[in-house]
């Protein structure tokens, strides 16, 4: 059986990543990797669904046992992708999605070069800040931290394979579908989302300026 495809998706928090992914993969067979984290569950999150919530000690043990495909520290907590489940799904020919931040994303790309890296951009830094505030799950200090982290991540989006803009949900979903269906086709519209593209580079620069 042919191997499943691996999609690495990164987006600063508040970019609408969850909504886009749920819509894009609604009618497709896909495995969403469930990460381990040392941060506590937010309201409404469930163990084994959103994350596996583990202690720092358990996290260190998994590192020692080589249990992570990648791991990184983000916003004062550790996050890691359990290796076994992902490799098994790919072997079984099942497409797999990792929703991870940039440091982890580059670690995976180095190990699995055929993985497709996709970055979702907010329309601007100020709009991202507005969305975070509207969500109301974080205090002001956390919002400020998330905004500065987002800037750092957006700067690294130049190194992704594809970048899409989420200023409007429906076109963002359509763009994402175009990429996952046609990234290997040199004539497809998907080529227009490549970061090698001058227009895409300009779009990233503009997001950082506003």
Q: Which residues bind ligand 5GP (CB under 6 A)?
A: 13, 35, 39, 70, 72, 74, 79-81, 99-101, 103-104
Q: For residues 41 and 189, which CB has a smaller minimum distance to ligand 5GP in the complex?
A: 41
Smallest gap, in angstroms, from Cβ of residue 120 to ligand 5GP?
Answer: 10
Q: For residues 100 and 180, which CB has a smaller minimum distance to ligand 5GP in the complex?
A: 100
Smallest gap, in angstroms, from Cβ of residue 185 to ligand 5GP?
Answer: 28
Spatial CA neighbour of 129 closest among 116, 145, 111: 145
Q: For residues 127 and 182, which CB has a smaller minimum distance to ligand 5GP in the complex?
A: 127
Q: For residues 74 and 162, which CB has a smaller minimum distance to ligand 5GP in the complex?
A: 74
3-state secondary structure of 62: helix
Q: Which is it for the CA torsion 44, 47, 52, 58, positive or negative?
A: positive
d(CA 162, CA 89): 23
Burial of 179 (0-12, 13-18, 19+ CB in 10 A): buried
Smallest gap, in angstroms, from Cβ of residue 190 to ligand 5GP?
Answer: 23
């Amino acid at each position: 059986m042919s191997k499943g495809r691996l999609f690495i998706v990164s987006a600063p928090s508040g970019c609408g990543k969850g909504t886009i992914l749920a819509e894009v993969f609604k009618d497709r067979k896909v495995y969403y990797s469930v990460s381990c984290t040392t941060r506590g569950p937010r309201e409404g999150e469930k163990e084994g669904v959103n994350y596996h919530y583990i202690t720092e000690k358990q996290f260190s043990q998994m590192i020692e046992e080589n249990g992570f495909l990648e791991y990184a520290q983000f916003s004062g907590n550790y996050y890691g992708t359990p290796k076994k489940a992902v490799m098994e799904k790919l072997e079984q020919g099942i497409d797999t999605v990792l929703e991870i931040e940039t440091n982890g994303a580059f670690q995976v790309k180095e190990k699995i070069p055929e993985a497709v890296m996709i970055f979702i951009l907010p329309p601007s830094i100020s709009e991202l800040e507005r969305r975070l505030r509207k969500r109301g799950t974080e205090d002001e200090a956390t919002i400020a931290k998330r905004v500065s982290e987002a800037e750092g991540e957006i700067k690294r989006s130049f190194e992704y394979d594809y970048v899409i803009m989420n200023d409007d949900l429906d076109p963002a979903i359509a763009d994402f579908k175009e990429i996952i269906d046609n990234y290997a086709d040199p004539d497809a519209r998907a080529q227009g989302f490549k970061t090698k593209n001058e227009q895409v580079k300009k779009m990233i620069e503009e997001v950082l300026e506003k």
